[in-house]
């Protein structure tokens, strides 16, 4: 009989064991990497729901009149104190001249009555009665009050004349300009708006489930949809309140509560304010731009967060999560 060599069987068994070990190792490595990526995802809050914001100053005249001169154009940059427009000053110049005349008249009347009151105060009761002295003193006091009123009216007339020149209260950009020379400006109604160029910030609207990982002072990375470069900033504030629909009162003052409560509770989003540390001169910020915001904890601030190119900028987990 021919003997069977056991070597091929042992070799096949060894290969099978090696393949099983490699498969198990690869699976364990994949699970470990997946767990680390998930932990990093949970520990690094980010959101695509971000927006560039800025303060907008509404320029409102305090006097009414026809716009005589418009010194700016749409989207023009202006410095604080630059002339924006001039309202026709003729009416206010006339009012100022009239107020000056009233002051002069009141001053002359005061001087005359004060002299009369002083002269009678020096006379004895043999020449003038006590009642006459009191009447002339009262007339002088009334004239003094009238003079003070005239001075106040003069100050107001000067102030109104100065208000015919509207200057920019901030450094910024004139936006959505529709006012033109010849239009009538009404006191208390907006004539133009200036976006404060020194006030730009980014609001990231984060889900409440990640708030435990966000702190004031944390480093933030901001990616704008319009620009490829990643900007660096820091968290300066967390919103302390959002609108609550159930808090609205009905006609009787009772709370209006929505009776529908779904099985899956959707996390609320609360704004987190991020101030940009340095904005390149080549980058044009506009309020309303879409941004992706990633919060980096203090110990990780100096490390580069892995990014993946997306339509809204760079997200550290965009390759394995649909977004927040």
How far is 53 from 270, CA to CA, in rounded Å? 15
- Over residues 165-207, the pLDDT tens digits come to 999 999 999 999 999 999 999 999 999 999 999 999 999 999 8
Task: Tell me which of 151, 185, 219 is where a domain ends.
Answer: 185
Whether 40 maps to a domain, the answer reads no
C-alpha 246, offset from chain centre: 27
Whether 28 maps to a domain, the answer reads no
Q: What's the average model confidence in pLDDT over 212-240?
A: 92
The CATH number assigned to the domain holding 216 equals 2.40.30.170
- Over residues 282-312, the pLDDT tens digits come to 899 999 999 999 998 754 444 443 333 333 3
Judge whether 184 and 65 are in contact, CB under 8 Å.
yes
**Residue 181 CB: number of other CB atoms within 10 A?**
12
Average pLDDT, the chain: 83
Whether 106 maps to a domain, the answer reads yes
Q: What's the average model confidence in pLDDT over 120-141?
A: 75
Whether 80 maps to a domain, the answer reads yes
Same domain, 92 and 76: yes
Tell me, what DSSP letter sits at residue 1?
A: -
Same domain, 179 and 65: yes
C-alpha 45, offset from chain centre: 23
Whether 74 maps to a domain, the answer reads yes
Same domain, 122 and 167: yes
How far is 315 from 322, CA to CA, in rounded Å? 11
Same domain, 217 and 174: no
- Of 195, 186, 188, 189, the C-alpha closest to 168 is 195
Q: What's the average model confidence in pLDDT over 77-106?
A: 96
Axis-axis angle for helices 130-162, 90-122 (nearest 10): 160
Q: Which runs of consecutive H residues, i.e. helices, occur in 163-211?
A: none
Same domain, 214 and 168: no
- Of 65, 110, 69, the C-alpha closest to 91 is 65
Residues 6+ apart with CB under 8 A from 277: 231, 232, 233, 234
How many domains does the chain divide into? 2
Range of the domain at 270: 46-54+198-243+266-295
Tokens of 310: 């997306």
Same domain, 105 and 153: yes
Whether pLDDT at 255 is above 60: yes
Whether pLDDT at 28 is above 90: no
Residues 6+ apart with CB under 8 A from 263: none
């Amino acid at each position: 009989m021919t003997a069977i060599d056991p070597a091929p069987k042992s070799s096949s068994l060894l290969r099978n064991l090696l393949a099983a070990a490699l498969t198990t190792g690869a699976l364990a490595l994949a699970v470990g990497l997946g767990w680390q990526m998930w932990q990093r995802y949970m520990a690094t809050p980010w959101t695509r729901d971000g927006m560039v914001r800025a303060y907008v100053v509404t320029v409102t005249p305090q006097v009414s009149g026809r716009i005589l001169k418009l010194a700016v154009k749409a989207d023009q940059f202006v410095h604080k104190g630059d002339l924006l427009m001039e309202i026709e000053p003729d009416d206010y110049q006339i009012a100022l001249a009239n107020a000056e005349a009233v002051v002069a008249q009141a001053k002359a009347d005061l001087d005359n009555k004060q002299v009369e009151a002083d002269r009678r105060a020096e006379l004895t009761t043999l020449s003038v009665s006590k009642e006459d002295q009191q009447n002339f003193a009262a007339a002088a006091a009334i004239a003094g009050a009238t003079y003070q009123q005239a001075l106040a009216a003069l100050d107001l007339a000067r102030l109104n004349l100065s208000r015919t020149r509207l200057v920019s209260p901030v450094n910024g950009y004139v936006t959505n300009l529709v006012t033109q020379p010849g239009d009538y400006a009404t006191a208390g109604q907006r004539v133009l708006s200036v976006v404060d160029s020194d006030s730009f910030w980014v609001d990231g609207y984060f889900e409440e489930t990640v708030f435990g990982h966000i702190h004031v002072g944390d480093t933030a990375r901001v990616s704008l949809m319009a620009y490829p470069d990643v900007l660096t900033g820091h968290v300066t504030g967390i919103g302390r309140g959002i609108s609550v629909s159930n808090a609205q009162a009905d006609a009787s003052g009772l709370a209006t509560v929505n009776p529908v409560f779904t099985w899956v509770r959707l996390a609320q989003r609360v704004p987190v304010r991020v101030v940009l540390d340095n904005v390149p001169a080549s980058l044009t910020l506009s309020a309303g731009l879409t941004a992706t915001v990633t919060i980096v904890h203090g110990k990780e601030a100096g490390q580069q967060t892995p990014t993946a190119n997306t339509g809204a900028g760079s997200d550290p987990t965009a390759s394995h999560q649909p977004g927040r």
